[in-house]
Copies of this chain bind each other. A is one copy, B any other.
């Protein structure tokens, strides 16, 4: 299947623009055909008008139809076969095995959302039945449920060309909720996005949902993204990427005449805290786990453990030595695009200039787009005092932070900005002993791990992928797992509505058999 290089608006190819760009093969830094064109202002407008038109019927489609659509997308992606993986590999330098795993996850999450909306309780129906005889005023019949927000804009992430891209988590949860999607492709993998978008459009045809429910727009500059966020028809934004990019979109959305929610998943350094027993008793296992988590995928995960905090002494020194050895032995890798590797190199150089000690050999001897994994070390007092040392360095690097004791580890935790995750290694008894550290970290993170590694974000019901700013722009939401569906929904209450005009989830009969809060009690029963 060929990549043509066009925007896809309401099922049709559109190439109005005259600003060309190419994807690049990161390994060779050579352009990859075909030529793509930045979407024009008119194309942005057409995509959102198509999304608005589609929303008006799609929002009222049955959960069964939407579930069939999501499953059809999954099937169409499977149907793309090796061609999709080959193109993604050419555009991102991510290995085939990794991309195949990512495809499995992408398909699984589409199907998970299909199951979730077919079950149907996600609308959080609440019913307070009325009482016309109540004095002094009758009690109204109130029925409340979540409804989809409208057309939403989703930005593809560079580091997950499948799972956080055209048919990724945000698209899946938005389509599941009943929203239409205008998708802004990441310019580092536009061909992968186009192939996926065509799969979504075929699925829309086969599931008989309106073609405007999904459009794909390309753009190399920031202009396309900003005009999507500023468009009056846009009702919410999903984004995964840098703090700078996410903040710019957040600011643009907040400055609108009608502000809209922005779910930006941004930077995180995912601190790992080694309580005394961990370094002393499990150094080998922890080094093995950390080395894998730091270097896997050339460190290009938002959950990369960028900081490891331990207590000064022989045990932590041994962890440092072993980890430096393991990381030094890791082959250099090609990053997703050249600029990322330049950014990585300059971030590590800056940390060194600020006094971080380099523990790995041969650091920074690679020329972008290649990057070599690095291990740094600083004292906790220094790390606490200099906020720049706490900035995310996107790539295969971690900073060992040496604290004098657990009390100083707590100061490190307090100094942290919001994080996607924090991890504690130790014994269950230590976790109880150091409950204060746990409580400090609970204030800072979306997910708290014990004796694990933050990479590997499980897609399920109980996942939370997000966290206090700047990990995410909205700590109340997750971008992974079924709970993500609520980011694209809001409650609507019907007062004294006739049964025939109520949405199915709110009818007395509870035809869908969903869980509802009826007069304060959870129930799947009909109301008699």
Residues of A within 8 A of B (CB): 56, 60, 119, 121, 126-128, 137, 139-140, 142-144, 147, 149-150, 250-251, 254-255, 258-259, 261, 417-418, 428, 431-432, 435, 438-439, 442-443, 445-452, 456, 458, 460-464, 466, 468-470, 473-476, 478, 483, 486, 489-498, 500-501, 515, 517, 519-520, 522
User: A254-B254, A483-B126 given as contacts; is B448 within 8 A of A492 (CB)?
Assistant: yes
Q: Are A432 and B128 in contact (CB under 8 A)?
A: no
Q: Are B450 and A127 in contact (CB under 8 A)?
A: no
Residue from the set A445, A460, A519 with the largest chain B CB neighbour count within 10 Å: A460
Q: List 15 A-B contacts (CB under 8 A).
A: A56-B439, A126-B483, A128-B460, A139-B458, A142-B460, A142-B463, A144-B462, A144-B483, A446-B492, A448-B495, A461-B519, A468-B490, A476-B486, A476-B489, A476-B491
Q: Are A464 and B144 in contact (CB under 8 A)?
A: yes
Q: Are A483 and B492 in contact (CB under 8 A)?
A: no
Residue A254 contacts which of B250, B448, B486 (CB distance < 8 angstroms)? B250
Q: Which residues of the partner chain B approach A490 to less than 8 Å between Cβ atoms?
A: 468, 475-476
Q: Which residues of the partner chain B approach A438 to less than 8 Å between Cβ atoms?
A: 501
Q: Are A127 and B462 in contact (CB under 8 A)?
A: yes
Alpha-carbon distance between A497 and B452 when the two chains are bound, in angstroms = 10
Q: A438-B501, A478-B491 are in contact. List 19 more A-B contacts (CB 8 A).
A: A121-B522, A128-B462, A144-B462, A251-B254, A254-B254, A258-B469, A261-B474, A435-B501, A446-B491, A447-B495, A448-B494, A461-B517, A461-B520, A462-B517, A463-B493, A464-B491, A475-B490, A476-B490, A476-B491
Q: Are B501 and A451 in contact (CB under 8 A)?
A: no
- The distance from the CB of A65 to the nearest CB of chain B, in whole angstroms, is 17
User: A452-B140, A483-B126, A483-B491 given as contacts; is B439 within 8 A of A60 (CB)?
Assistant: yes
Alpha-carbon distance between A259 and B417 when the two chains are bound, in angstroms = 13
Q: Which residues of the partner chain B approach A442 to less than 8 Å between Cβ atoms?
A: 147, 492
Alpha-carbon distance between A470 and B260 when the two chains are bound, in angstroms = 11
Q: Which residue of B lies closest to A522 (CB)?
A: B515
Identical copies in the complex: 2
Q: Which residues of the partner chain B approach A147 to less than 8 Å between Cβ atoms?
A: 442
Alpha-carbon distance between A432 and B499 when the two chains are bound, in angstroms = 11
Alpha-carbon distance between A272 and B398 when the two chains are bound, in angstroms = 60
Q: Which residues of the partner chain B approach A417 to less than 8 Å between Cβ atoms?
A: 258
Q: Are B522 and A469 in contact (CB under 8 A)?
A: no
Q: Which residues of the partner chain B approach A493 to less than 8 Å between Cβ atoms?
A: 446-448, 462-464
- The distance from the CB of A382 to the nearest CB of chain B, in whole angstroms, is 22
Q: Which residues of the partner chain B approach A456 to less than 8 Å between Cβ atoms?
A: 137, 140
Q: Which residues of the partner chain B approach A469 to less than 8 Å between Cβ atoms?
A: 258-259
Q: Are A501 and B128 in contact (CB under 8 A)?
A: no
Alpha-carbon distance between A12 and B140 when the two chains are bound, in angstroms = 43
Q: Which residues of the partner chain B approach A137 to less than 8 Å between Cβ atoms?
A: 456
Alpha-carbon distance between A490 and B449 when the two chains are bound, in angstroms = 17
Q: Which residues of the partner chain B approach A464 to less than 8 Å between Cβ atoms?
A: 144, 491-493
Q: Which residues of the partner chain B approach A497 to less than 8 Å between Cβ atoms?
A: 431, 448, 450
Q: Which residues of the partner chain B approach A144 to less than 8 Å between Cβ atoms?
A: 462-464, 483
User: A462-B128, A522-B522 given as contacts; is B450 within 8 A of A496 (CB)?
Assistant: yes
Q: Which residue of B lies closest to A440 (CB)?
A: B56
